[in-house]
């Protein structure tokens, strides 16, 4: 949960060493530190409500003092101070519910009968679009080509069995969670792991887009009047998923169980009654209505149909991701559940393919194949509506599973430094808000870009999924060679075949559907890998820069007096010049840029002088005349601080000051330069146009100079 | 020139008083202040080139030490440090020339023969579009209505004489510059002054748009092939004017003299030869070609024609603005020049109207009336081209005069606090860059919005101009009543008639052309007035907040010990709590928010501890467990500073910290709270997405709290 890993033993030792160097000079001052002028626990004051500038909230309502040096912030302390911030917090609370404390985080273990529906909605719902995707491609070559659907389906069933067996072996090997990212990183190296992660990210985003679009299609098949609203309805559904998941509703198993079992029941009913009807007429296939061929039948077309049909397998990895969520013995329960799931998938997929063939159903854009089958099987009665509703519902729940998996994947990547650290944080409802928002934005964009059409989205789908599958299985091949153990050669062979088949499907999909949309994935996956590597590189840089070094080396550098060593003053020294780690190493020089005598300038001067360190003031003048006038005022005031005037005859202000401070630092890099800037804080944004904002611009220019500390002394306008 | 007025005698006294309060406690520390650890003049170091982080530039190349406590910045010191900044500076230097020192500012006094062309290009060039604008309206009622052009022209000549006489009287009364803004503010109050200023601003912006469009029209009349390029050509011309004026080329009088005298010569030639030709055929008017009437002839149409024709008078105010630029006796020379100018205008305007009438010329969209006249008068030979070139040239110079007047008007307004102070600054080429840019943007936008068509822009023109004229004359009426003096009643009458006539023209234009575009002016002028008043109000607030108060009152407030006075801690006290003006009033408490132990945090802690004031650290934890872990590390380090832990079970970070600091300040408003923030400075913009930017966000939240000083201790990434 923590953004940064805890300190290592080495680092703790370094910390202790550094601390000892503080101690030597600091020990005698220590008592002063405990005698603070006020009580930081806010506790010594009576707990009667006192008005603060946030209205009549008592501090005690914002913080509770529990231990001598510890406060606990209440919900109120989390509400921002600004009016806009408070209003937004209120809206947020209404939509997402009140914040939850970290202590409310519960881990739930699932029984198999609960795990099955929770984890299988993604996989089983795929039959709502997979068979149709395959037939849509075949139909391009005319009705006669539809006869090929059965052999292709048989090949897919073989693929399902192989991948299922392959994942069965992964589960006991990675009982703490066998996500493709982890397995591939572990065994094949970080680039492969990132490739698997990129494939999975595309998978999850497309699971949401495709499931939502297929769900909407199930609805519009029953209610064609809604067809023109496909895109807004889909975006609304994604927004509902977003809000629901930001609320962090941990859907209890039973909620998930209902639609999955409903869908299973509906499918059993459809297949049973349908096959019985077909049996009634002696299994004679109804010839499909004539479909004009727009392409010749070719191997390419068959491969395209195969890789489209393979989208029926998306979601098969769900169990292996979730092994730790099962009751003990986790891996065994998980493996059994996987077997059930794959069996159910094969039965449903094969049954549907046979029934479609025998009924002569042909895909049509305005009505799904499933809807046609249901219409044909149940021309009257409520059954048709129940089947469509169950289909739409399970698809919605399938989209929801991506909302669990995507943020978790980003969490794992962020923990390894391959994704922004913000994906490590839980929002105030204990959900990984940033990942949830990222998924919704990605899915919403893709859904919108492809007009919410399932068949346009399918070409993007298979590549990422089978890339992740293939890398995960390949990782297992390496794993078995490393671990050995009983039957390791056989296991390796199973995973090897699985990996190879998945790689073939992936390549097939990428090549045959390149123009139809797979190019998006072919571009995005490497882009994600490069981005992840860049992110990791940056975090490594930051970590190196911030790592604690043993003070010995620093001491050597620091304690040798270097009054003027400008020869080394190049940029490379910037980092080493910022290593003061104990207070006695810090030698101060305070500089106050003064534009004119007003309250803001006097406060800054008083603040600088009161620090007790050496201080002087700098004034920048456009000409000698103004310089003389200012010097006269300075003497009127009493000439309490040394004044240095810079005449800037070209009227530039910021660059000369920045160069001046940089030069001071170059001349004496051992001195800590503090620039005290008076800053006028303005209440209305448009008023900023009326000010030159010199302090802000100076701060921006100085930020990039090493060894310069910037202190803002604010003065607030009351109106 | 200075952004702020110099201190008044009162303020100097207050300053001395405040300084004395510093002295009492500060005198014994004074010597330390002079013993700075480095020489702020950078002079004690050998002036050999030393490499700084800006390459191999020696500090001495950036600054010259002239006096003991004064440096002079060279051109190099004005170039920003960043790579982008340096590149931009190079481009700027090529386009605009090297910076000029403040000392290069010269004031030139003009002879009458030089002043005439410099100041009259705007006025005289108006005859290039004024008569045509009038005829275009009349032609709407068919050819027969064109006969009305002569009586309307006669009325306009009367108006010219009255306004000319009226301005003749203004000049001696305001020998230091008699701009409408100043005269109206002086005599009628600030709202009237602002109304005049708003009218003038519209006038200047439209002068540029209309002159450029008329100039382009003069060119496209001769070269019809260029007509489709009207808009890009016009924008290019405005860009040239922008760049030229940013360069601050003080056009010498002779440069201006040439095109004006050329135009005058061309007009004399055209009128002379044209009238001679007409005389040759016995002054029989050529009947105009039949024009179909699209509207009936009505009083409204006549008034519209009149107010369109009145745009021939724009620029008549130029002399009165520029009285101080004349040689002594200024007002007399200026007045003589005005008389000449108005006489020339009347001769040219009347002559053109007569010639147009006699030649039967009718306005046509593709060719200007002037071009038609020239074509007819000089069917062959170079004269036609010379006339067109002279017209285009004088119009370009007329547009240029607005580039002198508009920034000057904004300067006067900014001096009075009615415009952003940035309009007071001269750029590095000694030009009022901000005003020049504002004018170009405004004129460019209007030119673009109206497609560069002169006749579409004319309806906007008259309202603003005559509003300013009328208010200026009305101001003179009040002036005479106040000042009295010789013939004051007669003078008042002249200005009164002038004001009344101008007001009538303004109202006529506003009403008759409301729908055609005058509504823009009717909206913009009050908007400018409101904006100016809002700006002034804000500057007043700032000035009140920053004004130096005698320390007596402060002392009373401060020196009474107020350890806990939360009852007054409301917002109203914010300003009074920020009045520490001498160092002994400042009592420090330094707080360091620490997220984890790294180099950045240790530097911040070392910096805070080395300040010598009381300091403590705050850590915010999501739960007790993390809090305990951090406390343990803190003890490992040596527990050198008091640590206060805030447990934030809802995982919010910024708001609880902000509330915590606000509460500390509320409990002890007498203590100056300094929050020391370690800040990681990132080199690439996109890396910011990878950081939580907590210090930056905390700074933004704390900025709005009174009495909290924020110190940034930066640490730079070397990659």
The closest CB to that of A638, out of B19, B663, B714, belongs to B19
Report the share of chain A in percent with pLDDT over 70: 88
What are the residues facing B73 on neighbouring strands? Answer: B63
Number of other residues whose CB lies within 10 A of the CB of residue A358: 18
- Cα B229 to Cα B238: distance, rounded to the nearest angstrom: 14
The residues, ordered by sequence, that sit 6+ positions from B484 with a Cβ below 8 Å of its Cβ are none
- Cα A592 to Cα A399: distance, rounded to the nearest angstrom: 59
Give the C-alpha distances (Å, rounded to integers) separating B607 from A616, A710, B617, B697: 19, 12, 12, 21
- Cα A230 to Cα A234: distance, rounded to the nearest angstrom: 6
Our CA-based measurement puts residue B652 at a distance from the nearest CA of chain A, in whole angstroms, of: 6
Q: Is A243 on the interface with B (CB under 8 A)?
A: no
Q: Residue B636 pLDDT more than 60?
A: yes
- Rounded mean pLDDT of chain A? 84
Q: How many residues in chain B?
A: 719
Helix, strand, or coil (residue A12): helix
Q: Is A547 on the interface with B (CB under 8 A)?
A: yes
Report the share of chain A in percent with pLDDT over 90: 36
Nearest chain B Cα to A543, which residue? B598
Contact B20 A638 (CB under 8 A): yes
Within 13 Å, how many C-alpha atoms sit on residue B380's CB side? 0
pLDDT in tens, B512-551: 889 888 898 899 999 999 999 999 999 998 888 888 877 6
The residues, ordered by sequence, that sit 6+ positions from A677 with a Cβ below 8 Å of its Cβ are A593, A604, A695, A698, A699, A710, A711, A712, A713
Mean per-residue pLDDT, A79-91: 82
User: Do A674 and A589 form a contact (C-beta atoms < 8 A)?
Assistant: yes
pLDDT, position B158:
94
Q: Is A548 on the interface with B (CB under 8 A)?
A: yes
- Cα B392 to Cα B222: distance, rounded to the nearest angstrom: 11
Residues 633-672 of B with CB under 8 A from A: 633, 636-638, 640-652, 654-656, 658-660, 662-664, 666-668, 671-672
pLDDT, position B342:
95
Per-position b or e across B527-549, b if 16+ CB within 10 A of its CB: ebbebbeebbebbebbeebbebe
Q: How far is CA B437 from the centre of its chain?
A: 8
Q: Residue A58 pLDDT more than 70?
A: no
- Rounded mean pLDDT of chain B? 84
Q: Residue A576 pLDDT more than 50?
A: no
Number of other residues whose CB lies within 10 A of the CB of residue B557: 15
Q: Is B84 on the interface with A (CB under 8 A)?
A: no
Nearest to A644 by CA among B426, B228, B43: B43
The residues, ordered by sequence, that sit 6+ positions from B700 with a Cβ below 8 Å of its Cβ are none
pLDDT in tens, B550-596: 765 444 444 433 343 333 333 333 334 455 567 777 788 899 999 88
| Maximum Cα interatomic distance, chain A, rounded to a whole number of Å | 114
User: Do B212 and B233 form a contact (C-beta atoms < 8 A)?
Assistant: no
pLDDT, position A572:
37
Q: Is A82 on the interface with B (CB under 8 A)?
A: yes
pLDDT, position A579:
58
Contact A638 B703 (CB under 8 A): no
pLDDT confidence of A216, banded at 50, 70, 90? very high
Contact A658 B75 (CB under 8 A): no
In a mutagenesis test of the B interface, which of A1, A28, A70 is the best target, namely the one with the most B β-carbons within 10 Å?
A: A70
Helix, strand, or coil (residue A249): coil
pLDDT, position B566:
38
Per-position b or e across B506-520, b if 16+ CB within 10 A of its CB: bbbbbebbeebbbeb
ipTM of the complex: 0.81
**Which stretch of DSSP H or E encloses residue B403?**
helix B383-415
Q: Is A611 on the interface with B (CB under 8 A)?
A: yes
Q: Which residues of A touch B15 (CB under 8 A)?
A: 597, 633, 636-637
Q: Residue A442 pLDDT more than 90?
A: yes
Q: How many residues in chain A?
A: 719
Provide the pairing of β-strand A642-647 with B70-73. Answer: parallel
Contact B712 A716 (CB under 8 A): no
pLDDT, position B562:
39
Q: Which residues of A touch B636 (CB under 8 A)?
A: 12, 15-16, 19
pLDDT in tens, B378-425: 988 889 999 999 999 999 989 988 988 899 899 989 989 999 988 988
Tell me phi and psi for residue A672, to 5 degrees.
-85, 110
Mean per-residue pLDDT, B16-33: 64
pLDDT in tens, A612-637: 788 889 999 888 888 898 988 888 88
Q: Which range, of A146-150, A665-669, B706-710, averages the lowest pLDDT?
A: A665-669
pLDDT in tens, A108-127: 677 888 888 888 889 999 99
Tell me phi and psi for residue B251, to 5 degrees.
-60, 120
Q: Which range, of A119-133, B31-45, B186-200, averages the lowest pLDDT?
A: B31-45
Tell me whether the omega of the peptide bond preceding residue B329 falls within 30 degrees of 0, making it cis: yes
pLDDT confidence of A650, banded at 50, 70, 90? confident
User: Do B522 and B511 form a contact (C-beta atoms < 8 A)?
Assistant: no
pLDDT, position A27:
57
pLDDT, position B564:
39
DSSP state of B326: B
pLDDT, position B573:
39
Q: Which range, of A679-688, B502-511, B533-542, averages the lowest pLDDT?
A: A679-688
Number of other residues whose CB lies within 10 A of the CB of residue B525: 23
Choose between B104 and B3: higher pLDDT.
B104
pLDDT, position B555:
43
pLDDT, position A124:
92
- Cα A557 to Cα B364: distance, rounded to the nearest angstrom: 84
Q: What share of chain B is helix, strand, coil (3-state, %, to 5)?
A: 65, 10, 25
pLDDT, position B633:
87
Q: Which range, of A220-234, A418-432, B189-203, B376-390, averages the lowest pLDDT?
A: A418-432
The closest CB to that of A602, out of B18, B637, B651, belongs to B18
DSSP state of A515: I
pLDDT, position B116:
85
Contact B564 A646 (CB under 8 A): no
Our CA-based measurement puts residue B407 at a distance from the nearest CA of chain A, in whole angstroms, of: 16
Mean per-residue pLDDT, B641-651: 87
Q: Which range, of A46-50, A86-90, B166-170, B339-343, averages the lowest pLDDT?
A: A46-50
- Cα A129 to Cα A675: distance, rounded to the nearest angstrom: 65
Q: Which range, of A246-250, A586-590, B213-217, B586-590, averages the lowest pLDDT?
A: A246-250
- Cα B579 to Cα B13: distance, rounded to the nearest angstrom: 18
Residues 463-492 of A with CB under 8 A from B: none
pLDDT in tens, A274-310: 999 999 888 888 888 888 888 888 888 999 999 999 9
Helix, strand, or coil (residue A475): helix
Q: Residue B218 pLDDT more than 60?
A: yes
Q: Which residues of B touch A6 (CB under 8 A)?
A: 629
Choose between A38 and A71: higher pLDDT.
A71
What are the residues facing A593 on neighbouring strands? Answer: A618
Q: Residues B650, B654, B659, CA angle at the centre, nearest 5°? A: 90
Q: Residue A565 pLDDT more than 50?
A: no
Contact A52 B425 (CB under 8 A): no
Mean per-residue pLDDT, B3-9: 69
Choose between A77 and B511: higher pLDDT.
B511
Q: Is B531 on the interface with A (CB under 8 A)?
A: no
Number of other residues whose CB lies within 10 A of the CB of residue A552: 9
Q: Residue B478 pLDDT more than 50?
A: yes
DSSP symbols for A481-512: HHH--TTHHHHHHHHHHHHHHHHHHHHHHHHH
State the burial class of residue A666 (Cβ atoms within 10 Å of its Cβ: 0-12, 13-18, 19+): buried
Q: Could you give the residue ranges of the DSSP H alpha helices within A189-282?
A: 190-222, 230-246, 253-280
Our CA-based measurement puts residue A88 at a distance from the nearest CA of chain B, in whole angstroms, of: 13
pLDDT, position A244:
85
Contact B642 A40 (CB under 8 A): yes
State the burial class of residue A55 (Cβ atoms within 10 Å of its Cβ: 0-12, 13-18, 19+): exposed
Number of other residues whose CB lies within 10 A of the CB of residue A540: 12
Is the dihedral angle over the CA atoms B170, B175, B179, B183 positive or is it negative? negative
Tell me phi and psi for residue B675, to 5 degrees.
-100, 120
Provide the pairing of β-strand B63-67 with B70-73. Answer: antiparallel
Choose between A2 and B263: higher pLDDT.
B263
Q: Which range, of B19-23, B285-289, B550-554, averages the lowest pLDDT?
A: B550-554
The closest CB to that of B589, out of A19, A37, A652, belongs to A37
Q: Which of B172-176, B494-498, B703-707 has the highest mean pLDDT?
A: B494-498
Nearest to A524 by CA among A456, A454, A438, A463: A463
Tell me phi and psi for residue A314, to 5 degrees.
-65, 140
pLDDT, position B560:
39
Residues 246-285 of A with CB under 8 A from B: none
The beta strand positions in B399-545, using DSSP E, are: none
Contact B50 A671 (CB under 8 A): no
pLDDT, position A320:
85
Q: Residue A32 pLDDT more than 70?
A: no
Cβ-Cβ pairs closer than 8 A, A with B, add up to 544
Q: Is A31 on the interface with B (CB under 8 A)?
A: no
């Amino acid at each position: 949960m923590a953004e940064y890993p805890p300190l290592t033993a080495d680092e703790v030792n370094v910390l202790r060493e550094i601390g000892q160097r503080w101690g030597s000079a600091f020990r005698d001052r220590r008592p002063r530190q405990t005698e603070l002028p006020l009580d930081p626990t806010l506790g010594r004051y009576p707990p009667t409500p006192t008005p603060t500038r946030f209205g009549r909230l008592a501090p005690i309502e914002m913080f509770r003092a529990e231990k001598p040096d510890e406060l606990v912030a209440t919900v109120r302390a989390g509400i921002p101070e600004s009016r806009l911030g408070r209003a937004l917090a209120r809206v947020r609370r209404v939509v997402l519910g009140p914040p939850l404390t970290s202590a409310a985080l519960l881990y739930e273990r699932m029984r198999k009968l609960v795990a099955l529906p929770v984890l299988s909605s993604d996989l089983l719902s795929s039959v709502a679009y997979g068979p149709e995707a395959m037939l849509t491609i075949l139909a391009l070559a005319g009705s006669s080509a539809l006869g090929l659907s059965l052999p292709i389906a048989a090949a897919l069933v073989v693929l399902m069995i192989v991948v299922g067996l392959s994942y069965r072996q992964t589960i006991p090997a990675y009982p703490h969670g066998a996500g493709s990212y982890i397995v591939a990183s572990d065994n094949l190296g970080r680039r492969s792991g990132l490739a698997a992660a990129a494939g999975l990210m595309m998978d999850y985003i497309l699971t949401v887009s495709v499931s939502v679009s297929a769900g909407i299609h199930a609805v519009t098949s029953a209610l064609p009047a809604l067809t023109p609203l496909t895109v807004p309805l889909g975006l609304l559904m994604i927004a509902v998923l977003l809000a629901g998941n930001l609320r962090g509703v941990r859907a209890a198993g039973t909620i998930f169980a209902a639609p999955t079992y409903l869908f299973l029941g509906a499918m059993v009913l459809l297949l049973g009654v349908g096959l019985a009807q077909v049996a009634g007429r002696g299994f004679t296939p109804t010839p499909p209505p004539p479909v004009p061929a727009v392409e010749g039948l070719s191997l390419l077309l068959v491969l395209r149909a195969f890789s489209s049909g393979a989208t029926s397998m998306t979601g098969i990895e769900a169990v292996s991701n979730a092994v730790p969520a099962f009751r003990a013995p986790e891996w065994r329960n998980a493996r059994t559940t996987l077997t059930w799931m794959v069996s159910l998938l094969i039965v449903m997929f094969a049954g549907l393919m046979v029934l479609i063939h025998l009924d002569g159903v042909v895909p049509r854009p305005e009505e799904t194949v499933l809807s046609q089958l249901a219409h044909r099987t149940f021309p009257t009665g409520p059954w048709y509506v129940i089947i469509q509703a169950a289909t739409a519902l399970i698809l919605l729940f399938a989209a929801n599973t991506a909302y669990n998996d995507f943020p978790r994947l980003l969490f794992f990547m962020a923990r390894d430094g391959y994704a922004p650290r913000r994906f490590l944080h839980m929002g105030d409802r204990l959900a990984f808000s940033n990942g949830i928002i990222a998924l919704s934005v990605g899915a919403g964009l893709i859904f919108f870009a492809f007009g919410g059409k399932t068949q346009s989205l399918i070409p993007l789908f298979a590549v990422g999924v089978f890339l992740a599958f293939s890398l995960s299985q390949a990782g297992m091949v390496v794993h078995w060679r490393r671990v050995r153990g009983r039957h390791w050669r056989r296991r390796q062979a199973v995973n090897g075949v699985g990996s190879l088949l998945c790689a073939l499907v992936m390549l097939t999909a990428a090549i045959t559907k390149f123009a139809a949309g797979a190019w998006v994935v072919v571009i995005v996956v490497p882009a994600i890998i490069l981005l992840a590597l860049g992110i990791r590189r940056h975090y490594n840089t930051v970590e190196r820069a911030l790592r604690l070094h043993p003070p010995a080396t620093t001491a050597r550098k620091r304690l040798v007096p270097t009054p003027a060593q400008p020869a080394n003053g190049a940029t490379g020294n910037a980092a080493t010049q910022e290593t003061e780690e104990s207070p006695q190493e810090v030698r101060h020089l305070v500089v106050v840029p003064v534009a004119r005598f007003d309250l803001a300038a006097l406060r800054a001067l008083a603040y600088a002088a009161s620090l007790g360190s050496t201080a002087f003031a700098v004034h920048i003048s456009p000409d000698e005349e103004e310089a003389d006038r200012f010097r006269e005022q300075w003497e009127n005031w009493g000439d309490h601080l040394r004044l240095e005037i810079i005449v800037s005859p070209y009227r530039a202000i910021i660059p000369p000051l920045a160069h001046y401070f940089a030069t001071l630092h170059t001349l004496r890099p051992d001195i800590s330069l503090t620039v005290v800037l008076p800053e006028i804080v303005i209440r209305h944004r448009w008023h900023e146009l009326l000010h030159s904002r010199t302090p802000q611009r100076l701060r921006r220019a100085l930020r990039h100079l090493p060894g310069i500390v910037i202190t803002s002394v604010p003065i607030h306008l009351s109106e």
